[in-house]
Amino acid sequence: MTIVRLGYVAMSVHLQNCSPSQTMTFAQFQKIKNREAAVKKLERIAVSNLENCLRLLKHNKAHDIRFFRFSSRLIPLANHEELEDWDYIEPLRDILGEIARFLKNYPIRIDFHPDHFVLLNSSDPEILKMSLKTLRMHEALLKGMNIDPEHRCVLHVGGGYNDKEQALEQFIHNWSYVPSHLQRMMMLENDDTTFTLQHTLYLCEKLAIPLVFDLHHHLANYENKDWKPDWERIVSTWKHSPLPMKMHISSPRNEKDFRAHSDFVDTQMFMKFLNEIKGTVTQIDCMIEAKQKDEALFRLVEDLQHYQEVELIDGSSFYVR
């Protein structure tokens, strides 16, 4: 028997005017002649994004959802080179404190998936420097919400740079330049175009990083289509984590556009997977990466009730026997 807990990404299709990713371009910033006023506007946008995150958390509580990914675009222009003197966390402390108090009363597993430009295997020192700066922003947000940053940020391995083996070794080389407090935040995910499950396992085992298995990505990009011989190795990467193991679930839009995410999750495919891994782990948290966000979660829970091996715990969690 295994407990399965479902989560979804960043925003709700049911809540109106609740985007956590409102933004402002640097061109728009420059058009405001008074720099102090421009910074204040950035701060208002960031506060509004976090207020919408709190609305989303309250929505999740109403539906028994205890796993959620925050948007990584909460603070526009946070890492722009022209705003290096901006202490963007200070004006957010009140709303971050509100979120912290909410999470204390209703614990939800929160994590991030920093954007694709965070590349820890780049040979360009400036790209690595900017990547670490972005990770520090995520760490500051987590600490502001009183969340232990350990294993809260999932990354792809990075670019292949026309030599995947060298790119893997570059990741290992660069890892020594990543401060230990940022290293402990990291999880790695197999991707759908470059680094397969086996590539990602190589790094995770060598550097003691948990691996977030993405089944959809694996089916799009693999050395051996059968993931089951590597399942025990995947599970073992989580043995030092205080959190339950995590995976991503999504379904192809169609055969022609296989890598794109569908609106909803293919329940039959998901159940086939769960029946193959049940009993191998006590709990697995599954992040739904579907276009219909929370509606995809609601639809999946509704569909799962028709399977006799599923016993619901609440609105987003269940036993699979």
Q: What is the pLDDT of residues 66-110, one digit of tens each?
A: 999 999 999 999 999 999 999 999 999 999 999 999 999 999 999
Question: In this structure, are residues 250 and 261 in contact, taking their beta carbons and an 8 Å threshold?
Answer: yes
User: What is d(CA 148, CA 133) in angstroms, rounded to the nearest whole number?
Assistant: 19
Q: What pLDDT is recorded for position 242?
A: 98
Q: Averaged over 157-165, what is the pLDDT?
A: 97
Q: Which tens digits make up the pLDDT trace of 244-296?
A: 999 999 999 999 999 999 999 999 999 999 999 999 999 999 999 999 999 99
pLDDT tier for residue 125 given thresholds of 50, 70 and 90: very high
pLDDT tier for residue 193 given thresholds of 50, 70 and 90: very high
User: What is d(CA 3, CA 281) in angstroms, rounded to the nearest whole number?
Assistant: 8
Q: What pLDDT is recorded for position 79?
A: 92
Question: In this structure, are residues 151 and 204 in contact, taking their beta carbons and an 8 Å threshold?
Answer: no
Q: What pLDDT is recorded for position 124?
A: 97
Strands 2-9 and 283-288: parallel
When the pLDDT of each residue in the chain is averaged and rounded to a whole number, the result is: 97
Q: What pLDDT is recorded for position 217?
A: 98
Q: What pLDDT is recorded for position 141?
A: 98
Q: What pLDDT is recorded for position 48?
A: 98
Q: Averaged over 212-240, what is the pLDDT?
A: 97
**What tokens were used for 311?**
């016993």
Question: In this structure, are residues 109 and 285 in contact, taking their beta carbons and an 8 Å threshold?
Answer: yes
| pLDDT > 70 fraction of the chain, expressed in percent and rounded | 100
User: Which amino acid type is present at position 190?
Assistant: N
Domains of the chain: 2-320 (3.20.20.150)
Q: What pLDDT is recorded for position 303?
A: 98
Evaluate if pTM is beyond 0.95.
Answer: yes
| Residue 245 burial (C-beta neighbours within 10 Å; 0-12, 13-18, 19+) | buried
Q: Which tens digits make up the pLDDT trace of 21-70?
A: 999 999 999 999 999 999 999 999 999 999 999 999 999 999 999 999 99
Q: What pLDDT is recorded for position 181?
A: 98
- CB atoms closer than 10 angstroms to residue 230: 17
In residues, how long is the chain? 321
Phi, psi of 199 (to 5 degrees): -60, -45
Compute the radius of gyration of the chain from its Cα atoms: 20
Q: What pLDDT is recorded for position 264?
A: 98
